[in-house]
Amino acid sequence: MDSAQIKRIFLDALTPILGMEEAQGMFKHYKLHLLAQKDISSEQLKEDIHQLSLKRPIQYVLGKTFFYSSEFRVNESVLIPRPETEELVRMILEKNQKESELSIIDIGTGSGCILLSLLKELPKARGIGIDISESALKLAQQNAKDLGIIADFKCLDIREEHLWTELESFDVIVSNPPYIDPLESDRMGESTLAYEPDVALFSPGDPELFYKKIAKIGKTHLSKKGEIWCEMNEYRATQIQEVFRSRGYETETFQDMQGKDRVILAKL
């Protein structure tokens, strides 16, 4: 089948379910996959369309997505990387482009997209990604191998403070932690709720819990020149700033492409 035939089959099947705009946007993503794969069987196309008709994210259907100029494997054990998180990476690189020999820890690394993107642009840097999910870490290790990047990965829950002794000092602590209050789930997309891992999305009970832990770990594991960079919930930017400020940090916040408070930088 040529691309025109695939497009017709794709849109005819998915437009009644997803709407024309979403179906066309999805095909643009799918077309990149076609160009990379060069050939696709009618059986595979049929299965992909079926999965998409169930509103499974196309990144999971394809098993990969692009993030900050690299292709990453993804599956339901990790979040799908967002453009807002690319902004976080860009900000860290702009701030540290002259500090190439950095030590970096990525807390809640998931697919490893943040850490590996930083290490790709800072080849003299070294880094470790930690996560509570063994399946996520397995995927991150595979992404590192695919990209030819040396990085360490460790299964560790930062909520367990007695485990912090296993960590060294870092110049950059970065995290896109679980920051969504379950009460905010009505603001989220259906496919996100159905397919992406709750453990990476929600912080039940205390939406600032992980920021409090990160602020505390920074007190003992941040180098003198060190920085903490976190993605944050735009609805709780003031509260998250206070978490760091009340613990002696100077903070600066940055907006994403949509003008929402999305990234916080904290320094002692």
What's the confidence (pLDDT) of residue 33? Answer: 74
pLDDT band of 266, cuts 50, 70, 90:
very high
Q: What are phi and psi of 17, to 5 degrees?
A: -95, -45
81: amino acid identity, one letter: P
Which region among 84-88, 194-198, 252-256 has the lowest average model confidence (pLDDT)?
194-198
pLDDT over 90 (residue 201): no
> What domains can you pick out in the chain, each with its CATH number?
3-54 (no CATH), 68-267 (3.40.50.150)
11-18's contacts with Cβ under 8 Å and 24+ in sequence apart are 13/49, 13/53, 14/49, 14/52, 14/53, 17/53, 18/52, 18/53, 18/55
130-154: average pLDDT: 97
pLDDT band of 37, cuts 50, 70, 90:
low
| pLDDT tens-digit series, residues 88-103 | 999 999 988 766 789 9
| pLDDT tens-digit series, residues 67-78 | 998 999 999 999
pLDDT over 80 (residue 15): yes
What's the confidence (pLDDT) of residue 38? Answer: 61
pLDDT band of 268, cuts 50, 70, 90:
very high
Compute the mean pLDDT over every residue in the chain, rounded to the nearest whole number: 90
Q: Are strands 170-175 and 70-73 parallel, antiparallel or unpaired?
A: unpaired
What's the confidence (pLDDT) of residue 193? Answer: 77
Percent of the chain with pLDDT over 90: 65
Which region among 136-145, 147-156, 176-185 has the lowest average model confidence (pLDDT)?
176-185
pLDDT over 90 (residue 249): yes
At which residue do the structure tokens 């070294």 appear?
A: 126
Structure tokens at 194: 């159905």
| pLDDT tens-digit series, residues 222-231 | 999 899 999 9
What's the confidence (pLDDT) of residue 29? Answer: 83
What's the confidence (pLDDT) of residue 70? Answer: 94
Alpha-carbon distance 190 to 216, whole Å? 35
Alpha-carbon distances, residue 125 vs 58, 147, 165, 268 (angstroms): 33, 15, 22, 22
What's the confidence (pLDDT) of residue 35? Answer: 63
Q: Model's pTM, two decimal places?
A: 0.91
